[in-house]
Amino acid sequence: MIAALAGGVGAARLLGGLVRVVPPRDITVVVNTGDDTVLHGLHVSPDLDTVTYSLAGVVNPETGWGLTGETWAAMEALERYGGETWFRLGDRDLATHLYRTQRLREGATLTAVTSEVASSWDVGPRLLPMSDDPVRTRVTLAEDGGGGGGSREGRSEDKEVEFQDYFVRRRHSVEVRAVRFDGAESARPAPGVIEAIESAATVVVCPSNPIVSIGPILAVPGVEEAIVHRRADTVAVSPIVAGAALKGPADRLLTELGHEASVVGVARLYAPLASILVVDEADAALAHRVEAEGLRCVVAPAVMSSPELAASLAEIVLTAGATRP
Ligand code: FO1
């Protein structure tokens, strides 16, 4: 059994590699739901859907999220009414949110709905939301946040917005002062999360944003403790290569929140929970600084530009996890 902690696009790539090197049924993926949002009355779980669509081989290859070959008639129709269209929901993707929302309203848990959606797409690994309880990532922007509100949003005061408002509406191009996970303190891990971590041969922390993708999972009470307990068998993959995020704002967020935007900064964050950090060859010169943080540093080609490279990175991760120094 392998347990993996996952955000969206970067995680999905590594998971695509993992299913090529171990039987998919032997993998449990614990997915971030801090990005979840309600739009048009629909419950949207972006990271769960990105992982589902990617493992099903139907993700849009250009964006890394949403469905391939998608059409946008509903968004175009919504534009006519002046409805909210900054968060693009494709026509077929909408069906996922309609179904999820209806099932949740009927009283089904997010765990149950996630399993129904994943099995209808023939996804092999078990996908678990980190929690069935609502945990929402909220981002404090410096000053007015820049996003369309002009001076009325108040230049002198920080402004807290929901994650997708920061990430998509403001294209994560605004300075961040703080991040918090609303609801985390009273959330419980979803059924199976702690058991998966406890029983896994290797726990993999996927190359997702340490602050806003892995951070919410660790904020659910009991999860970080369970991983710390498995530190010797936990392998993290750096989402930062040569000081830059492969996708998204991880490098800027690290800097803005006082961390080093490098594999060394990632090592510092993960040192309490992982014993190994896999970094790209571009960062080979920093391996000794990673090791100075108390982790074993494995240098490997970590930019997954093809399914084959993702599979060989997955193999390296699992081999590292199974090898005692
Ligand atoms: N990301 C965007 O940059 N723009 C969008 O309009 C957008 C829509 C969207 C719809 C469904 C979905 O599952 C994901 C979507 N994403 C979009 C991606 C998402 O905001 C982020 O990738 C994650 O929340 C960060 O991991």
Most distant CA pair in the chain, distance: 62
* 95 CA to centre of ligand 1 in angstroms: 16
What are 39's strand-pairing partners?
42
Q: Same domain for 200 and 61?
A: yes
Ligand 1 in reach of 165 Cβ (< 6 A) = no
The residues near 164 (Cβ < 8 Å, ≥ 6 apart) are 35, 37, 46, 87
Residue 138 exposed, middle or buried by CB count within 10 Å (0-12, 13-18, 19+): middle
Ligand 1 in reach of 202 Cβ (< 6 A) = no
Mean pLDDT (whole number) for 12-39: 98
Domain of residue 144 covers: 136-182
3-state secondary structure of 37: strand
Q: Same domain for 147 and 111?
A: no
Q: Same domain for 89 and 42?
A: yes
Q: Same domain for 49 and 33?
A: yes
Ligand 1 in reach of 172 Cβ (< 6 A) = no
Residue 246 has pLDDT above 90, yes or no: no
Round to whole Å and give the CA distance between 50 and 12: 7
Average pLDDT over all residues of the chain: 94
Q: What pLDDT was estimated at residue 158?
A: 79
Phi/psi of residue 125, nearest 5 degrees: -65, 160
Kindly report the pTM of this predicted structure.
0.95
Q: Which atom of ligand 1 approaches the CA of 93 most closely?
A: 11
Q: Where residue 146 falls among pLDDT bands split at 50, 70, 90? A: very low
* 65 CA to centre of ligand 1 in angstroms: 6
Q: Where residue 31 falls among pLDDT bands split at 50, 70, 90? A: very high
Query: 292 vs 204, 255, 271, 277, CA distance in Å?
Result: 21, 20, 10, 12
Packed helices 110-120 and 46-55: angle between N→C axes, nearest 10 degrees: 30
**Residue 41's domain is classified under what CATH number?**
3.40.50.10680
73-93: per-residue pLDDT in tens?
A: 999 999 999 999 999 999 999
Q: Same domain for 96 and 228?
A: yes
Q: What angle do CA 6, 8, 14 make, to 5 degrees?
A: 60
Round to whole Å and give the CA distance between 261 and 283: 12
Query: Given ligand 1 and candidates 168, 172, 212, which is best to mutate, with the most ligand atoms within 8 Å of its CB?
Result: 168
278-317: per-residue pLDDT in tens?
A: 999 999 999 999 999 999 999 999 999 999 999 999 999 9
Q: What pLDDT was estimated at residue 156?
A: 54
Residue 154 has pLDDT above 90, yes or no: no
Contact 186, 134 (CB under 8 A): no
Q: What pLDDT was estimated at residue 83?
A: 95
How many CB atoms within 10 Å of residue 150?
A: 9
Q: Same domain for 208 and 64?
A: yes
Q: Same domain for 140 and 270?
A: no
Considering the chain, what percentage of its residues have pLDDT values greater than 70? Answer: 95
Minimal CA–CA distance to 287: which of 273, 302, 272?
302
* 189 CA to centre of ligand 1 in angstroms: 24
Residue 148 has pLDDT above 50, yes or no: no
Q: What pLDDT was estimated at residue 149?
A: 45
- Helix (H) or strand (E) holding 226, with range, is helix 223-229
Q: Same domain for 123 and 160?
A: no
Mean pLDDT (whole number) for 161-174: 95
261-274: per-residue pLDDT in tens?
A: 999 999 999 999 99
Residue 240 has pLDDT above 90, yes or no: yes
Phi/psi of residue 74, nearest 5 degrees: -65, -40
